Amino acid sequence: MEKKEWLIVGLGNPGKRYDRTWHNVGRMAVETLATRHSIRISRRRFRGLMGEGMVGCERVRFLLPNTYMNLSGESVTRAMAFGRISPERVIVLYDDFDLALGHIRVRDQGGAGGHNGMKSILNHLKNDHFPRVRIGIGPPPCEDTIDFVLGKIPAAKMNTLQEAILDACDAVELIIQGQQQVAQERFNKKG
């Protein structure tokens, strides 16, 4: 029997203007995971960039929506429909300023928590039962939240963020191996 594939989504905004901004941390994590497994994310499909390959014994599609954050659900649902991928085989990685920098949280369901990309996905899917990995970027300074999330990541914070991105990649690998509970126990209590 053929195994079904996974769809791994990195939320962010397209274009050079948004490179290395806090709001693109999910996108950065998926790019890191793809590089780790020698998968190129370069095909333009489903209003985003896609790459396909294997992570261990599991077939995966990586998706970086190019719809801007507020319309991420359009790209995700198109990719899901094409691959006939069910929600429980979609993993979404995204930034969370309510979570301290350097921390990640793995969940199998839940709301958007004020994140516009997740709001869009939840609105399109009409289902909140899919794995997600939140990557902490907080706490935000006392400036406007939008200015913060669209601001460049300072070099001084990059090492801490990179460690969290590597943890997020490890968590995704565990989830697709059927070990989501292990991922939650390992990373939700870390730090």
Return the active site residues. Answer: 23
Q: Can you list the positions of beta strands (E) in the chain?
A: 6-10, 43-45, 48-55, 58-65, 90-100, 104-107, 132-138
Question: How, if at all, do strands 58-65 and 6-10 pair?
Answer: parallel
- How far is 106 from 118, CA to CA, in rounded Å? 14
Of the CA atoms within 13 Å of residue 49, those in its CB half-sphere come to 17
- How far is 127 from 148, CA to CA, in rounded Å? 29
What does the DSSP 8-state code read for residue 126? S
Note the Cα 159 to chain centre separation in Å: 19
